[in-house]
Amino acid sequence: MRYLHTMVRITDVDASLDFYCNKLGLEEVRRYENEKGRFTLIFLAAPKDKGASSAARAPELELTYNWDPEDYTGGRNFGHLAYKVDNIYDTCRRLMDGGVTINRPPRDGHMAFVRSPDNISIEILQEGDPLPPAEPWVSMPNTGSW
């Protein structure tokens, strides 16, 4: 398992970059804009983590700006923790066997979401290429929110 990033939703890109970059000292390492999904992802890294960020896209802070205004209540501005694993199906099976609900199953062989006992959303990503779609994951519905 490898730590990737923490995602935080933001409401003002300029104010957030001023805080995280100009004041805190993080540096923008990449940006992704999705017109269809109407969001922007801005990835930041600490200066001493830029080499690792460039090589492995970790460890980073992901700022998510949703283009449509939204009031973030109930901690929704904090998004999720993200980890890459060697085999997403084995990891999800181990979690399920331990009584953890798979909120977003890895139907695509690439991504799943679960929640911690404190309701923190955790994204699990397949290391390397996605695994071929497989049951029971392909037919498993989403449960709750993530």
pLDDT over 70 percentage in the chain: 99
Q: Are 113 and 122 in contact (CB under 8 A)?
A: yes
- Do 65 and 42 contact (CB within 8 A), yes or no? yes
- For residue 54, the number of C-alpha atoms closer than 13 Å in the C-beta half-sphere is 6
Residue bearing the bigger pLDDT, 64 or 74 = 64
What does the pLDDT look like over 75-119, one tens digit per residue? Answer: 777 888 898 999 999 999 999 999 999 999 999 999 999 998 778
- Torsion sign over Cα 70, 110, 146, 7: negative
Looking at this protein, which amino acid is placed at residue 56?
Answer: A
Supply the residues annotated as catalytic: 123
What is the CB neighbour count within 10 angstroms for residue 45? 22
- Rounded mean pLDDT of the chain? 93
Q: Which amino acid does the sequence have at 139? A: S
Global pTM reads 0.75
